[in-house]
Every structure is written in C-alpha cells, then in structure tokens.
Structure 1
Amino acid sequence: MGITARGLGLLVAGVLLLGAGFRFGYPELTLLGAAAGVAVAIAVLTAAWRPRLQVRRQADPDRVARGEPATMTLTLRNTGRLGAASLLAVDRCGDQVVPVPVLRLRPGADTTVRYEVPTARRGVVPVGPLRVTRRDPLGLVVLARTYGDSVPVWVHPRIHPLRAVPTGAGRSLDGQVDAVPHGSITFDSLREYVVGDELRRVHWRTSARVGELMVRENVDTSLPRIVVLLDNRMAAHPQRVRGTAESFESACEAAASVVTAAVREDLPVVLLFVAADASEVGTGQESPAVQGGPTGPLDRLAAVSLTGEGTLEAAVARLRRERLGDTLVVLTGPGGREDLGHVGALRGAYPSVVVGVFGAADPTPAGTGGLLVVDAADGAAFAAEWDGVRRW
C-alpha cells in the first residue's frame, strides 16, 4: 500500500490543522483537521478491500518456434458476492505490459482478454501474474496486488530440416570400427526385477548375493548415438549486440535441427552444454521429451543463455570419461576455434566428430585438429552444409 502525494499532503495538512486548532483554541481548524484525518482513514479502508478474483490463462500454443505466432487468453472472473469491481489491471508479458480492462465486473461475471506473445527472440517468455491496482475515489491511497501465477511460453529455436543423419559406428569383436547396418545386443547393467520381466533375463548369481531378483539390461551397441555439445560460453561468442549474440542463436538453431532429425529417425540423442546445467544427464533418455516436456532438449535450448562459467576443456574431459555416443557434434562461435584442439583429442573416443563454427569472419583453417569443420553464417547455412557432408 502506498499513499499518493495528494494523500500525503492532506495528512500533513490535517495534522497541522489539528495542532493549530488545539493550540490556539480554534474549533473550526480542529474540525478541518479531523475531517482530513477521517478522509485518509476512509481512503485506506477503501483501497484495502480485496476483491475476490479468479485468473485463468491459456497459451495457444505454449511452445512455438522463433517467429511463429502465439496467443495468450486471460479470463478474469469476479467470484465475490458484494458488488461490482472496477479496477486498474495490467498483465505482464515478458518485458511488455498489457492493460486489462476491468470495469463494473459484476459478481459471477468474467471478462476475457487475448493478446499476442512476443516470439521474435528465442527464450522463455514469462506471462503474468496479473497486477491489480485499487485507488480510493479521492486518489489518496494506492494499493497493488497480484493475482494468478506466471505461465511460461517456450520460444524454441528455428528448426531447419536435415536430410542426412549419421549412420553410427559399432565396434566389432576384432577391434575394427565400421558402419553397422544391423544391431547387436550387449549387456549394459543390472536392475531390480519388475512384474513382466522375462525370467531368462534374471541374473541368478547377483540375485542370490543381494537377496532380491536382479535382471540384465541390454543395449544395442551398434545403434547410432548422437551427442550434441553446444558451446554457451561468452568467450566463444564475443560479438554481441544488446546482449544478444547472433552466432549463439545460430548455434542453438543448429542444435535444435540435429536433435529433431535424430528424434525423427528414432535415434538416441544427448544434448549437453559446455557450461553444464543441473538437468544434464548422461543417459540419452531425453529425446522422447522433445515432444513437449519441460525437460526436453528444445525447452532447454529455449532457456539456455550465455555464461562466463565453464571451460571447453572440462566438457571434453567429461565426454572422454563417459563416452556417451559414437557421433559428436560440437557447435561453437568464432571465439571457440582456439579450443578445437581439445575437441580433436576426442577422436579416439568418438569415431565421428563434426564441428560447426558460426559467425566467423574467415573460414576455419583446413585440417584443424583433424576434425570435420562446417563454417556457417546461420542455422540455414549449417543445414545446407550438413546435408552436403559425405563422411562422418
């Protein structure tokens, strides 16, 4: 609650009038001072009345690609019983403020407002909460309250269709690494038995040791496993305009395109950031969530931002230690070319390594670290170059 300049002036005048009236014995001044005090008190009570409002929001859709339209529908209902509500209300939509007309909203009635959500930039656009401001009739006191929760609208990077998808590589028993057209099943880990598991998969020796049934988990070792490493360091994207690095936005588009192409082909894919976030896991189980879960790769690409933390050397050490796949796609900016030597050290752990460099003024020197480097100005150019790659 805040008192306006008019209310503050009236309150000060009332105190002075009361003091002068009592001091010099003027009842008229005392009456005026008391009236001023009563007016401020009534204003406080009027503004403090809390209307009972119910706020509902619906984003259509709540996940869009950059530049696609998204509409937010706000429904405000007066659930009170005493009287109509006339309020000043505004809704927050990202950095914008949207006015919501609430004039003579009778009990049980509702009003609906629709407006466009800005999707010109990749990111997570917070919508809400609704801010309602109440004033007394004399404009002496102002009180603002919030109603409803904040709802995110996920603006994903643009996706450029990729025709080519890595075929993967598998290690044969004689030590060679070849492209594998057919799968092979290999033991991966043990887990507890659940109803429905085949008894032939029970590992009886381990079950006897731990005292409960344990079953074998197998994986297809020849199935292509793609790892996408996005360089989100500020040092890798030094050219920024108003805090936005176009090279980083292009790298996000390339990452979204590769992830989507892998999901389309039912291939396991893992999305990692050089400056790792808490949601990163080394399981490769994220790809199904691309359809809409808040932990899916596209949502993470919408939320990721540049940071001064993290090093490419640490990310490479993690990739070498965990060996999450057989095809590694590294996406960086012009400032990341100096660290490509660290990426080149992964060629022994990952049979196929592709590096995308965005926003560089000149092409990357040929043979850098023995890597396949794709120089691109933006995500569309990367997609064209990607489809032209003949070896992985």
Structure 2
Amino acid sequence: MGITARGVGLLVATVALLAAGFAFAYPELTVLGAAAGTAVGYALVVAARRPRLTVTRHADPDRVARGEPARMSVTVRNAGRLAASLVAEDRCGGRTIPVPLLRLRPGRDTTVTYDVPTTRRGVVPIGPLRVVRRDPLGLVALARSYGDTVPVWVHPRVHPLTAVPTGAGRSLDGRVDGVPHGSITFDSLREYVVGDELRRVHWRTSARVGELMVRENVDTSLPRIVVLLDNRVEAHPERADGTAESFESGCEAAASVVAAAIRDDLPVTLLTVVPDDDPDAHPLDRLTSVGLATGSLPDATTRLRQQRAGDTLVFLTGPGGRAGLGHVGALRGAYPSVVVAVFGAADATPADGAGLVVIDAVDGAAFAAEWDGVRRW
C-alpha cells in the first residue's frame, strides 16, 4: 500500500491542525484536523478492499518462430458483488499493456487482445495483471497482482534444408548407416503399455520387478546426427544491444538441422558446449532459452568422444570459436563425418586438413544455401 503525495500532505496537515487546535484551544482547527484524518482513514479503508477478479489468458500460438505473429488474449472477470473501477495493466515482456476495467459490473468480463513481440528469440513472460486501486480523493494507491505468468516461446527461424547427412555406409533400405553391423539394437527397458507386442516383454526383468517390462529398441541403420551448438561467450565476441548475431544465426542453423532430421524421421541429438539446464526438453524449446555462458570446448569434445552419440557431428560456432577447431577435428575418429559452420567471420575459415566440411555463413539463410550445396558429408 502506498500513500500518494496528496495523501502525505493531508496526513501532515491532520497532525498539524490537531496539534494547533488542542495547543491553542481553537475548536475550528481541531474540527478541520479531525475531518482531514477522517478522509485519510476513509481512503485507507477503500483502497484496502480487495476486488475479486479472475484472470484467464490464451496465447495464439504459444510457440512461434522468430518474426511470426503471435497474439495474447487476456480476459478479466469481476467475481465480486460490487462494481469495480480500477486501473490495470498487463506485463508483456519488458512493456506494459493497459487493460480497461472502468465500471466493470459484477459477473461481467472484459477482454483485451494484443500482439506479442517476436522480433527476438527467447521466452516472453506474459503477466501477471497488475491492478491499482485508488480512493476517490486520490490519497492512497494499492497495487495487487492477479493471474499467473504465461510464457510465449519465440523459437529461432527454421530455414528449409533439402539435404541431410548420409552417414558412413549404405543400408538395405536405401538410407545410409555409420554402423556396419546394425539393424535393430536393444536400447533400454520400459513399463508395458496397452498395445505393446508380448514378444517384446523381457520376462526375467518382469519377474524381478513385479510388473511387465518391455524391450525398447533403436534402429541403427539410420544416420544419427549430433548438433553441437557453441554457446561460449568467447566464441561470439561481437555484440550489438546485448545480442550476438553470430550466436542467433547459430541457433537458427541448429533449428534448421534438427527440423530437417525430424522431418525425415532421423535420430538427432542437440548438445551445447556449455550444458543447459533442461536437456530433456524439446530441441526447439531449448534453442529458445539457451544463452551465452562460460565453458570449455575441450571438455565438451571429451564428452562427445566418450558418448559417441552419432556418426555425423555438426558443430556451429562464431568467429571466436575458430581457434578450437583442432579439438573438433580430433573427433574424426569417433564421428566419421564432421561438419563445421562458422557464423559472422570477416574472412573465410582456412581448411585444417583434418577432413572437416567447413561452411562460412553470415546468417541462417546463407547457412541453408551453403548446406544444400555440400556434396560430401
């Protein structure tokens, strides 16, 4: 609760009038002081009354690519018995949206629809609704929050890719494979669900744990793609208004490769040099919230060498990451095909003789064009 400048002045006048009235035996001053004090008390009572409001939100859509339109609808309903006349505003990222609540009758609602800014990649928090209640004299103002915060995910742009990495060897169904002996390989066990084939039940484990467990297999006859996004601060030294365009281009390239792999039903894994907080989230959601951090490229390449999560590695970095390409080239023993994309470099990236496929691009669109022109993976 906050007392306005007018309220502070009237409160000071109340104390002064009452003190002067009693000290000098002036009943008129005492009456004026009592009236001023009554006005301040009335303002406190009116402003302290909490209006009963329900707030619902709907984002259309709640996930959108950078630059595409998204709208938010906010509906405020008066669930109380008295009419509400309030000043309200909704929080949308770093700006506020006015919400008219003048003379909102009991049981009625009002809806405000506005555009969500999608010019930048990231999670845009919407809400909560901030309602300011004032007394008629403007002496006291009380601000309260209503409703939850709803996120709108602004994904990186996805540029269509017509080509996908083909792995190391050809499989019988026309796809390519980096595993010479592979077809269907055991991966893990999970609980049985209705519709699973009984021949996939692992009876020994089921007897031990007391419930049906089913074998989960993976098809190793498909090329497995690993996308490594360089999110180190030193890899993207050039920034404008706090944004590194080379990193934004790298996020768009990662989203494009992931989307192309998902489109062709190919296994794909998204990794970052500095591990993020939610590795199990959807790749596009992870690319929305990932940011620059301090980390070590040798540590990331060591993890990749130990995991061997695929047969094609796609490394996306900025101009400051070219000094570490030797660590990436050393992964050729674990990953038969390694593609490196450098964004925002002033000059071409020299070939290091390690068998890397190097792509220099200024942004995500240029990366897509260069990617489709690659003839050797």
TM-score (normalizing by structure 2): 0.92
Q: 1:160 and 1:202 mapped to 2: Cα distance? A: 42
The CA deviation at 1:9 is 1.1
The CA deviation at 1:374 is 0.5
- Counterpart of 2:290 in structure 1 is 304
The CA deviation at 1:165 is 0.6
Distance verdict in 2 for CA 1:250–1:10, change over 3 Å: same
Q: 1:73 and 1:209 mapped to 2: Cα distance? A: 52
Q: 1:182 and 1:165 mapped to 2: Cα distance? A: 22
* 1:41 aligned onto 2:26: no
Q: 1:248 and 1:59 mapped to 2: Cα distance? A: 27
The CA deviation at 1:378 is 0.4
Distance verdict in 2 for CA 1:215–1:384, change over 3 Å: same
Q: 2:107 and 2:339 mapped to 1: Cα distance? A: 61
Q: Which amino acid aligns with 2:2?
A: G
Q: 1:95 and 1:368 mapped to 2: Cα distance? A: 48
Uncovered stretches (5+) of structure 1, i.e. residues with no partner = 282-294
Say whether the 8 Å CA contact 1:344–1:369 is kept in structure 2: yes
The CA deviation at 1:193 is 5.9
Distance verdict in 2 for CA 1:298–1:208, change over 3 Å: closer
Distance verdict in 2 for CA 1:66–1:199, change over 3 Å: closer
- Counterpart of 2:332 in structure 1 is 347
- Counterpart of 1:389 in structure 2 is 374
Say whether the 8 Å CA contact 1:341–1:368 is kept in structure 2: no
Distance verdict in 2 for CA 1:178–1:88, change over 3 Å: closer
- Counterpart of 1:78 in structure 2 is 78
* 1:17 aligned onto 2:17: yes
The CA deviation at 1:168 is 2.3
Distance verdict in 2 for CA 1:15–1:305, change over 3 Å: same
Deviates more, 1:326-335 or 1:360-369: 360-369
Candidates 326, 330, 333, aligned match of 2:315: 330
Q: 1:72 and 1:339 mapped to 2: Cα distance? A: 43
Say whether the 8 Å CA contact 2:340–2:358 is kept in structure 1: yes
- Counterpart of 1:220 in structure 2 is 219
Q: Which amino acid aligns with 1:20?
A: A
Q: Which amino acid aligns with 2:128?
A: P
- Counterpart of 1:143 in structure 2 is 142
Say whether the 8 Å CA contact 2:124–2:152 is kept in structure 1: yes
Candidates 336, 347, 355, aligned match of 1:370: 355
Q: 1:42 and 1:365 mapped to 2: Cα distance? A: 77
Distance verdict in 2 for CA 1:202–1:109, change over 3 Å: closer
Q: 2:178 and 2:299 mapped to 1: Cα distance? A: 29
Q: Secondary structure at the match of 2:269?
A: strand
Aligned length in residues: 373
Q: Secondary structure at the match of 2:265?
A: coil
Task: Indicate the RMSD between aligned Cα atoms, in angstroms.
Answer: 2.4
Q: 2:177 and 2:153 mapped to 1: Cα distance? A: 40
Q: Which amino acid aligns with 2:313?
A: L
The CA deviation at 1:49 is 1.1
Q: Secondary structure at the match of 2:306?
A: helix
How many percent of aligned residue pairs carry the same amino acid? 77
Q: 1:368 and 1:333 mapped to 2: Cα distance? A: 20
The CA deviation at 1:219 is 2.2
Q: 1:205 and 1:56 mapped to 2: Cα distance? A: 51
Say whether the 8 Å CA contact 2:177–2:221 is kept in structure 1: no
1:144-163 pair list within 5 angstroms = 144-163=143-162
Q: 2:292 and 2:263 mapped to 1: Cα distance? A: 28
Q: 1:62 and 1:202 mapped to 2: Cα distance? A: 39
Say whether the 8 Å CA contact 2:88–2:131 is kept in structure 1: yes
The CA deviation at 1:139 is 0.9
Say whether the 8 Å CA contact 1:186–1:220 is kept in structure 2: yes
- Counterpart of 1:256 in structure 2 is 255
The CA deviation at 1:368 is 5.6
1:1-392 pair list within 5 angstroms = 1-82=1-82, 84-169=83-168, 184-190=183-189, 198=197, 200-201=199-200, 216-280=215-279, 295-307=281-293, 309-367=294-352, 369-392=354-377
Q: 2:328 and 2:15 mapped to 1: Cα distance? A: 75
Q: 1:214 and 1:50 mapped to 2: Cα distance? A: 54
Q: 1:47 and 1:211 mapped to 2: Cα distance? A: 61
Distance verdict in 2 for CA 1:235–1:325, change over 3 Å: same
The CA deviation at 1:155 is 0.8
Q: Secondary structure at the match of 1:104?
A: strand
The CA deviation at 1:218 is 3.0
The CA deviation at 1:370 is 3.3
Q: Deviations over 1:218-255 (max 9, x none)?
A: 32222111111111111110000110011011101101
Distance verdict in 2 for CA 1:17–1:336, change over 3 Å: same
The CA deviation at 1:27 is 1.5
Q: Secondary structure at the match of 2:58?
A: strand
The CA deviation at 1:61 is 1.2
Q: Secondary structure at the match of 1:370?
A: coil
Q: Secondary structure at the match of 2:29?
A: helix
Q: 1:77 and 1:205 mapped to 2: Cα distance? A: 58
Say whether the 8 Å CA contact 1:333–1:360 is kept in structure 2: yes
Q: Which amino acid aligns with 1:100?
A: V
Q: Deviations over 1:285-320 (max 9, x none)?
A: xxxxxxxxxx2111111111112x221111111111
Distance verdict in 2 for CA 1:76–1:212, change over 3 Å: closer
Distance verdict in 2 for CA 1:302–1:211, change over 3 Å: closer
Uncovered stretches (5+) of structure 2, i.e. residues with no partner = none
Q: Secondary structure at the match of 1:168?
A: coil
